[in-house]
Amino acid sequence: MAEIQFILALIMGAFIGAAAGYLGSLMVTKRAALMGCSLGHLTIPGITLALIYGFDVSLGALLFLAFGIVLIWLFERRTKLPMEALTAVVFASSVAVAFLYLPEDETKIALLGNISQISLLSTVIIAILSLAVFLASKKIFSDMVLMSVSEDLAKARGVNVGKTNFIYLVCIALTVALGVRIVGGLLTAALVAIPACTSRNLSKNLFQYSYGGMIFGSLACIIGITAFKLTGFDAGLLVIITSAIFFLISLLFVRKS
């Protein structure tokens, strides 16, 4: 990996990890961290199209996420089945179709990510989108926490529940789409969940919890990408392993109530 691409990868990883860690603290609070797993699988057809036709994998992931979410919404209106069940139907079917066309030598990239080809333009765009996710998540954070306690109370306090939930879902979709660049479609849930869990073990209040998730997410990506340059192992795996090590260390300092 050339030096300039390594630096761009570090910058990209720092921004994505920070946004994922901050949003992850909100997702863990709402017990929705595994949503990243389902949406991560839903990106695989988009990644497949990107690999076949040679455009950015994050763009492919985002386009298919949008398509999949609309499809699930339409199915829910038509059938009245639970969204979780329809999500399973859509992402399992789409993954099966994707693997019919995914070149065998690029399967690993789709599942585990690839940071070896990064341009300055894509890094700038990813940094801007990651910052947008952070700012949007920060804006709705307190409202989402209140809604997790009681939606009726949130409405009484003037919170627009529908709008807030929509912003939340857009933030998750963007984070998953950006995260596939580093960890592929298989490990996106870990990218958002593990830093948040680590921070929760160490934090004393909500501020420390949310910003701790951001710091641990960013550090895991930076260390994982650096380890990738030194060892040649997949960056996505090393990022998640680094994050898991942080979590195990945090267990030594967990506050007992």
Q: For 212-256, how does the pLDDT look when each residue is reduced to its tens digit (9 = 90+)?
A: 999 999 999 999 999 999 988 888 899 999 999 999 999 988 765
How many domains in the chain? 1
Distance between CA atoms of residues 46 and 67, nearest Å: 10
Is 156 a domain residue?
A: yes
Q: Is residue 257 part of a domain?
A: no
Tell me if 115 is assigned to some domain. no
User: Around Cβ 120, how many Cβ atoms within 10 Å?
Assistant: 11
Write the pLDDT tens digit of every residue in 202-219. 988 888 998 999 999 999
**Alpha-carbon distances of 248 from 4, 116, 233, 245, rounded to whole Å:** 33, 29, 21, 5
What residues have CB less than 8 Å from 196, skipping those under 6 apart? Answer: 21, 24, 25, 27, 28, 33, 209, 213, 217
**Does any domain span residue 191?**
yes
Query: Model pTM?
Result: 0.82
- Please state which of the ranges 107-111, 131-135, 188-192 shows the lowest mean pLDDT: 107-111
* 148 found inside a domain: yes
| 177 within some domain | yes
> What pLDDT does 36 receive?
63
* Domain coverage including residue 124: 3-110+120-250
Angle between helix 44-53 and 35-42 (nearest 10): 30
Task: Please indicate, yes or no, if residue 176 is contained in any of the structural domains.
Answer: yes
Q: What letter would DSSP give residue 116?
A: S
Cα-based torsion angle of the residue sequence 225, 228, 234, 240 in order, rounded to the nearest 10 degrees: -50
In a domain, 58, yes or no: yes
CATH of the domain at 185: 1.10.3470.10
